[in-house]
Amino acid sequence: MTGELSPIDKAKFVAAKRAAGLVEDGMRVGLGTGSTAAWLVRCLGEMVREEGLKFTAVPTSTRTAELAREVGIPVTSLDEAKWLDLTIDGADEFDRDLNLIKGGGGALLQEKIVATASDQMVVIADAGKEVENLGAFPLPVEVIPFGWQTSQALIEETLVSMDVLGRSASLRMNGDRAFMTDEGNHILDLHLHRIGNARQLALVINQIPGVVENGLFIDICDTVIIGYGDGNVEVRDINEGTVEREKLDFVETDNLFSDLSD
């Protein structure tokens, strides 16, 4: 299987495979949303079936919950679990301080709630997600549908005083309709190009009426596992200040992800 994957998909796979090894029996684990997180769910499902791994998952979206159940992972709610040992999720961008932009998959609200209700957050990503400054990827902001155009205007007005290069916001679409989150909200994508002060921007945006949450994850991620197309992985722990490198072998006959299309 892996021999047919693109280098980016190989990178996602090895990052997910390395992160799956962090999950231990009895853990309560948050499962992220997106293409890299989907590889993780498949890896964990294989460990449940073939190795007898026993843990409980709290998914961050409806589609992650559906995939987890499909591969045999027991699923519960955050209210039931109350607190998590670990959350593993992807990211659209991360910087040297492990600050993130998330929400490209539209699940930023649940992802942020689950991540902050965990002892540890681990991000899995291919090397292309690392940036010098956040902002090249559009920053998602979840807003309630009522008055969303007013919220958009207020956000764009606020951006004038922020340390960013771009100041436009667009409504995310799903075909010819506005994209809807699991909570029934809309997403505005902010085209900022570069964010000079992510912490300030996150705080200011969340004060705007109609804004539910933004996709800046500041001081939430503890570890990033970076995958490379040649099978190498790099594990950076910001709390310990450590960097570890290793290589994972591909299993060429494995068809675990043959039906995965994300």
- The dihedral region occupied by 216, where left means phi > 0, alpha psi between -120 and 50, and beta the remainder, is beta
Output the six-digit token pair for 28: 């309560």
Q: Is 90 assigned a ligand-binding role in the annotation? A: yes
- Give me the catalytic one of 46, 111, 142, 213: 111
130 flagged as catalytic: no
Residues pairing with 190 in the sheet:
139, 169
103 is in an annotated binding site: yes
Closest residue by Cα to residue 26 from 70, 68, 84: 84
Distances (CA, A) of 83 to 28, 87, 168: 8, 10, 37
Can you list the positions of beta strands (E) in 144-199?
Answer: 168-171, 173-174, 177-178, 186-191
231 is in an annotated binding site: no
Q: Is 129 labeled as ligand-binding?
A: yes
Q: Nearest to residue 136, comparing CAs of 126, 145, 148, 128?
A: 128
Whole-angstrom distance, CA of residue 104 vs CA of residue 112: 13
36 assigned binding-site residue: yes
Q: Strand order of the sheet with strand 186-191?
A: 168-171, 186-191, 139-143, 211-214
Of residues 213, 203, 192, the one with CA closest to residue 131: 192
102 is in an annotated binding site: yes
* Beta-bridge partner residues of 121: 87
54 is in an annotated binding site: no
Pick out the residues of the known binding site: 33-36, 89-92, 102-105, 129
Catalytic residue IDs: 111
Pick out the residues of the known binding site for substrate: 33-36, 89-92, 102-105, 129
